[in-house]
């Protein structure tokens, strides 16, 4: 059997078990086979036991890479400037850089020139996302708030001059931000995304 047998795998992203099944070999042999195929450029490795065929990657559209981003660290969802770009709320383009929010750890994964970045946030702030086209992504308002939260901690930079605030739902922005620290809300107020709090 040859490498093209892997095209029988119905999943776009797969592990040792699927390789073992289509090749009719043990899982241990599949691990060795996967390593060899990665060296030969037939497979690309996202993380331990998660691969994609080179030919699948080469024709992957943005939604495919968003789904792959979700798998790179679980649980996670697309957010920050990547989500804002997706919703056309920012003119800041990100073609080979995919940002996600996660609860486990901050890390980066590089796959064939593309970077998948995961930023850790507190579990209590892990909300405000939805499933769309097979991937999990923040709402536009939550993506902005996630960015401001990380900015308030000195862990992120967003080109605010590229953001079109008129495309955001102000009521949703206010409701979601109420669950964030005051430091985040103050920063949103400072840049005009929330009305200034009146002193009594």
pLDDT of residue 120: 97
Instruction: Provide DSSP, 49-110.
Output: TEEEEHHHHHT--HHHHHHHHHHHSSSEEE-HHHHHHHTTSB----SSEEEEEESS--EEEE
Q: Are residues 75 and 168 in the same domain?
A: yes
Q: Are residues 26 and 85 in the same domain?
A: no
Q: Are residues 32 and 97 in the same domain?
A: no
Q: Are residues 50 and 66 in the same domain?
A: no
Residue 104 reports pLDDT greater than 90: yes
Q: Are residues 94 and 185 in the same domain?
A: yes
Band the pLDDT of 1: cuts 50, 70, 90.
very low
Query: If you average pLDDT over every residue of the chain, what do you get?
Result: 93
Note the residue count of the chain.
200
Residue 49 CA to residue 72 CA, distance in Å, equals 11
At residue 144, the 3 state secondary structure works out as helix
- The number of C-alpha atoms within 13 Å of 88 and in the hemisphere containing its C-beta is 0
Q: Are residues 66 and 53 in the same domain?
A: no
Q: Are residues 29 and 117 in the same domain?
A: no
Q: Are residues 47 and 99 in the same domain?
A: no
Q: Are residues 87 and 132 in the same domain?
A: yes
Given 14, 37, 58, which residue is the final one in a domain? 58
Given 12, 29, 58, which residue is the final one in a domain? 58
Distance of CA 181 to the CA centre of its chain: 23
Residue 73, domain extent: 62-190
79 within 8 A of 100, measured Cβ to Cβ: yes
Q: Are residues 52 and 84 in the same domain?
A: no
Question: How many domains does the chain contain in total?
Answer: 2
pLDDT tens digit sequence for 107-159? 999 999 999 999 999 999 999 999 999 999 999 999 999 999 999 999 999 99
CATH code of the domain containing 19: 1.10.10
Given 30, 58, 86, which residue is the final one in a domain? 58
Residue 82 CA to residue 92 CA, distance in Å, equals 9
pLDDT of residue 4: 61
Q: Are residues 103 and 149 in the same domain?
A: yes
């Amino acid at each position: 059997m040859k490498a093209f047998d892997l095209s029988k795998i119905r999943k776009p992203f797969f592990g040792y078990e699927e390789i073992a099944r289509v090749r009719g070999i043990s899982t241990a042999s599949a691990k060795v086979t996967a390593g060899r195929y990665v060296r030969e450029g037939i497979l690309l490795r996202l993380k331990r036991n998660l691969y994609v065929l080179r030919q699948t990657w080469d024709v992957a559209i943005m939604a495919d890479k968003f789904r792959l981003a979700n798998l790179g660290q679980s649980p996670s969802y697309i957010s920050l400037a990547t989500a804002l770009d997706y919703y056309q709320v920012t003119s800041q383009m990100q073609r080979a850089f995919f940002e996600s929010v996660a609860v486990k750890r901050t890390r980066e994964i590089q796959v064939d020139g593309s970077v998948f970045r995961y930023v850790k946030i507190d579990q209590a702030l892990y909300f405000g996302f939805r499933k769309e086209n097979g991937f999990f992504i923040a709402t536009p308002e939550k993506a902005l708030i996630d960015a401001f939260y990380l900015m308030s901690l000195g862990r992120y930079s967003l080109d605010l001059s590229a953001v079109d605030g008129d495309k955001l739902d102000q009521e949703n922005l206010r409701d979601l931000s109420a669950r964030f620290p005051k430091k985040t809300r103050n920063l949103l107020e400072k840049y005009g995304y929330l009305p200034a709090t009146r002193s009594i």
